[in-house]
Amino acid sequence: MKITDIETIYVRMQQIKTQCDSGQDALVIKVHTDEGITGLGEVDSSPMSAMGVINGPYSHSICCGLKDLLLGEDPFCTEYLWEKMFRRNVYVGHSGVLFHAISGIDMALWDIKGKKLGMPVWKLLGGGFHKKLPCYASVLFGDTPEKTYDEAARLRDLGFRAMKFGWGPMGKCAKNDEALVAQARKGAGDKVDLMVDAGLVWDAKTAIQRAEAFAAHNIFWLEEPLPAHDYEGYRRLSNATSVRIAAGEEEDSLEGYRRLITEGQVDVVQVDLTRCGGFTGAMKVASLAVDFNRPVANHGFSTYINVAAALHWLNSIPNAFIVEFVAQNGTDLRDMLTRQTIRAQDGFLQIPQEPGLGIDLNEEVISRLRVN
């Protein structure tokens, strides 16, 4: 089998609201082969930047568009192709958009392998740990503590046993921060695991104060309270509080995750399959986390391609325990883009059993919303 083309498909809602919602546009990757099998992947990054990394022409031996590097290659050779894409782009970067672009292609290559062999990706990765996994409903904080209460109560009534509130008004002042978390807990009830995603808003000392205040509301983890690369701050915070600290969605390279775990001392390692180098990169991050006895969770705030990829990965590693599931009311690009919609049942997501990722695009929506 040979790779014959790589297609970058940038879709974007006609109306984009200025808000925290990475579900308003998407960069979908298609890898085509000479056997007529097409693999699907996603990049959750700056779409045009990632497209440049993929579609750019040969410049020189360590700076070359990913498509140019992969045409004519065997899609089954994922480890070799990953290294080729990385090492032939040293000038493009050791993290960031190069990793994001590699992620979408690597994901599509594993989809091809699964489709060709008639097996779900998790089986190719040696998985089989779960039939289903508990998920947490992931939403933004309401504009006010009262609106946060209403949202928590809505999610509790939908049957979620865990929920996470993030970003929005968090970080304005101590009083409002604590009221947001108090109302989230009140709306969720005492039986629900409650996570708080601060959204990169504090320094270490402020985060230590908030962690102790939030501990009174029995939060399950405190996520990304500090700027992403303040590893020293993360270490001070982790050592000062008994609250679990979660981070990792801004990381992509194995080196970044190594620093987050060993220097930052975070407790829960979060991995986004559309940014960390796809399945090939994510398996290495999971292995690193196992070495340091850290549980991992996915990050996914974009499409069902991302959610499906996360389910395959989480079913292939020993240190998975929960899935992030976007329950945000907002744009409907997520529900339109793919023919499958992944739904939670009683707080669980089923592990996909179809060949490859088990996800197909809604081509009518693609042609209507495609930008390029």
Q: Which of these ranges, 113-121, 153-161, 193-201, 319-327, lies near Mg ion under the rule CB under 5 A?
A: 193-201
- Does 250 help bind Mg ion (rule: CB under 5 A)? no
Residue 177 or 197: which CB sits closer to Mg ion?
Answer: 197
- Give the ranges where the chain is alpha helix by DSSP (H): 47-55, 66-70, 78-87, 97-117, 121-124, 145-157, 174-188, 204-215, 231-240, 254-262, 278-291, 304-314, 333-337, 363-369
Which residue's Cβ has the minimum distance to Mg ion? Answer: 197
Please list the residues that pair with 169 across neighbouring strands: none
Q: How far is the CB of 197 from Mg ion (least distance, A)?
A: 4
Of the candidate spans 19-27, 174-182, 189-197, 312-320, the one that interacts with Mg ion by CB under 5 A turns out to be 189-197
Instruction: Tell the smallest beta-carbon distance from residue 100 to Mg ion (Å).
Output: 16
Question: CB of 136: closest distance to Mg ion in angstroms?
Answer: 11
Minimal distance, residue 249 CB to Mg ion, in Å: 5
**Does residue 160 sit in helix, strand or coil?**
coil
Least distance to Mg ion from the beta carbon of 223, Å? 5
Q: In this structure, are strands 348-350 and 132-140 parallel, antiparallel, or unpaired?
A: antiparallel
Contact letters (x/-) for Mg ion, 195-234, by CB under 5 A? Answer: --x-------------------------------------
Judge residue 255's burial from the number of C-beta atoms within 10 Å of its C-beta, 0-12 exposed, 13-18 middle, 19 or more buried.
exposed
Annotation says 217 is catalytic: no
> At its nearest, how many Å lie between Mg ion and the CB of residue 183?
20
**Closest by alpha carbon to 298, among 249, 243, 225?**
249
The answer to whether the CB of 360 falls within 8 A of the CB of 339 is yes
Read off the amino acid at residue 364.
E
* Active-site residue, from 100, 130, 299, 312: 299
Which CB sits closer to Mg ion, 82 or 301? 301
Nearest to 300 by CA among 26, 13, 97: 26
Q: Measured from the CB atom, is 25 or 197 closer to Mg ion?
A: 197
Any idea of the CA torsion for 328, 331, 337, 338, to the nearest 10 degrees? 30
Residue 67 backbone class (left: φ over 0; alpha: ψ -120 to 50; beta: rest): alpha
Give CA–CA dist 266/271, Å, rounded. 13
> Which of 170/336 has CB closer to Mg ion?
170
Nearer CB in complex with Mg ion: 151/197: 197
**By C-beta, is 228 or 365 nearer to Mg ion?**
228
Binding positions for Mg ion, rule: CB under 5 A: 197
Catalytic positions are 299
